[in-house]
A and B are shown apart, each in its own frame.
Chain A
């Protein structure tokens, strides 16, 4: 553990040594889909605050948010909407592509995702009519992502970027049913919930030096 921390510190110091000091912020939006998980598609928005470590490297704190419809499965979550809010630390490498003012980038990040699930109101209402309260929730959990894209410099401090981002979002959840009359309840866990999302994003970045 100590070795890992020391190595990370050395890496950061190395970046800092060659840093072109500066902070930038970026806002991005896109469209997310969920290959494999069965969830639907939805819009994505997010922002990023970055610190340039060198011409090549930057360290970013990125946050996004998207909400996707879930059709529901018998083993996993029921029909409803899942909202994802990952906050991650990202390391980004910038690669000149030859053309002036255009750079490619590759990013990898990890962090924590806040998941929230809203059970379909017709399900909730239906069971309430029968005197039963149904509830499902998902836990927050670790998140990671990979990204690829290009940046187009618009001026000394501004750039636009277009890319793709694959987010790995795994968690677990719980379900519960309770009788409103006597409180008799039953519940269980929902293990292995996966909401991995592939998103296409476009953003605008402004740098401060």
Chain B
């Protein structure tokens, strides 16, 4: 996929302006067929800035004309500038003022306040996407709106210029070989992208996404656009299988996902693209409530392409060892703290579980009476400082064998540490630790068994991440086997590809790989009469074998391949 070439666009626009200027022709002295060789601008050529500094200059001019009372002239100006004016209101986008790396909840809260203020000014909101509010506002109130301290800037809505970009993974996997084919004796089941949100999806319809999609939100807040991660995934699915009908389903919690699955299995859906993962979401052996959703999909003839997770560099597992008898696990004979580095302002996450979940009965695990606790430390530069801990009571019933600490952050790159304490242990159980947002492999990293839930499900087609340009395995790509002994992932697929949603930031991770696999599956489900189980076999047999011959715990069967 090609990057948007801003320079080309800029040069193109500049060229167009020059062409227009050339068409207008010379207005003064000099050669009648070409501009003068020298032009001298003076202070007199400078137009004084007018209007509020947080107001787009065109809106400031509109506002100024409106305030003079010459409504006709103001409307004419708006028309010339292609503004949308209805009655006494104009359509604008207000950018909410947020600090870099502000949390999503803070942005949402501020935008909500702003929407109320817009309403009080006589405006009304059409759509909100993160810090951007697209709304109508009385022209007379533009200055007042811009003066609000929560407002960063007020501008006309931007319009896209079609410069479709196709995932590089399409060519790498051979999906382009299907581009001229018509469906053959198929019912044409669709593909569902199940994700946290689909921010900005409407702007991509008919271009990076199908002309129309079915959308359904199971989030409690009903916000289908709370996140744009799903949009980027949907783009890839569409790039891979442009003819497949698409359903976008959003959720935020485990309960919402289960509710979503209740709905999905009743739809005409043949493939689910799932680029989410759960720490402590199950035993890691294919059991648990999240994997149960995958099982339900399989029972309904739905293939589930799941991200293998990006945890190969964030994962440690091993058995409890206490060399000095102080109750804390020794990662080495002399080290009881595993450390890792997290960039500034990113929340730290540490997730501990141990493999004593007990029997999974389809609803819940039997439970454990082995009790471990998780401690979080912060390196001050000279000493470890205790920050937090997770100390659930595992008494044999109730709490799962899991502990987690999440949400702390530092204002600079910081080294964090975790310790594991055994409150009660009578069995030798395997401990497993995941961290989140570390910028480099954690200390004592153990890539094996880093497959994340629900990619551990035997029914999931787990997708690892390989570089789209050379099939090299990304170091973070989750590795098998599962804690149930299954070889995982099942396949690898391209990562590091371009998407319109993420723009200049290429889409890396198994989150990008899973929709490539889902798109490949969707090609078969939407274009051929093969059953779900047959498609799975075909996809696996066609894979370009990488790594050790045959299926292995790094590449699975190999890289997704859809052509001959």
| A contacts, CB < 8 Å to B | 74, 78, 123, 126-132, 134, 175, 177, 179-182, 184, 186, 188
Contact = CB atoms under 8 A, between A and B. Distances in A.
A180 B537 CA distance: 13
B185 A131 contact: no
Given A74-B185, A177-B529, A186-B530, A129 B564 contact: yes
Given A177-B530, A184-B537, A131 B542 contact: yes
Contacts of B541: 179, 181-182, 184
Contacts of A184: 530, 534, 537-538, 541
B34 interface: no
CB-CB nearest 10 A-B residue pairs: A182-B541, A131-B564, A181-B542, A129-B177, A179-B538, A130-B177, A126-B181, A184-B538, A181-B541, A130-B178
B406 to A, nearest CB: 44
Interface in B515-549: 528-531, 534, 537-538, 541-542
Given A74-B185, A126-B181, A127-B184, A182 B564 contact: no
A85 B322 CA distance: 87
Contacts of A179: 538, 541-542
A188 B174 CA distance: 27
Q: Give the secondary structure class of B's interface.
A: loop
A74 B184 CA distance: 8
B180 interface: yes
B537 A132 contact: no
Contacts of B184: 78, 127, 134, 177
Contacts of B563: 129-131
10 contacts: A74-B185, A128-B564, A130-B177, A130-B564, A132-B528, A181-B538, A181-B541, A181-B564, A184-B541, A186-B529
A130 B529 contact: no
Nearest to A79: B182
B348 interface: no
B562 interface: yes
A28 B129 CA distance: 75
Contacts of A132: 528
A45 to B, nearest CB: 34
Contacts of A130: 174, 177-178, 181, 562-564
A182 B537 contact: yes
A182 B180 contact: no
Contacts of B542: 131, 179, 181-182
B180 A126 contact: yes
Interface residues of B, number: 20
B537 A127 contact: no
B564 A180 contact: yes
B187 to A, nearest CB: 10
Nearest to B185: A175
A175 B531 CA distance: 16
A186 B531 contact: yes
A136 to B, nearest CB: 10
Contacts of A74: 185
Contacts of B177: 129-131
A160 B537 CA distance: 63
A123 B185 CA distance: 13
Interface string B182-202: 101100000000000000000
Nearest to B536: A184
Contacts of A175: 185
A188 B184 CA distance: 12
Contacts of B181: 126-127, 130
B179 to A, nearest CB: 9
B333 to A, nearest CB: 50
A180 B541 CA distance: 10
Nearest to B542: A181
Contacts of B528: 132, 177, 186
A79 to B, nearest CB: 9
A169 B177 CA distance: 38
B194 to A, nearest CB: 27
A132 B177 CA distance: 11
Contact of A188 (B178, B180, B185, B538): B185
A74 B527 CA distance: 12
A131 B564 CA distance: 4
A131 B530 CA distance: 14
Interface string B542-564: 10000000000000000000111
A109 to B, nearest CB: 35
A177 B527 CA distance: 12
Contacts of B529: 177, 186, 188
Nearest to A175: B185
B33 to A, nearest CB: 54
Contacts of B180: 126
Nearest to B534: A184
Contacts of B538: 179, 181-182, 184
Contacts of A177: 184-185, 528-530
Interface in B3-22: none
Contacts of A78: 184
A127 B77 CA distance: 56
A175 B529 CA distance: 11
Nearest to A132: B528
A175 B135 CA distance: 56
Nearest to A75: B185
Contacts of A129: 177, 563-564
A68 B562 CA distance: 34
B165 to A, nearest CB: 23
Nearest to B562: A130
* Most B C-beta atoms less than 10 A away, residue of A74, A128, A130, A186: A130
Contacts of B185: 74, 175, 177, 188
Nearest to B537: A184
Interface string B162-175: 00000000000010
* Most B C-beta atoms less than 10 A away, residue of A123, A126, A179: A179
A8 to B, nearest CB: 44
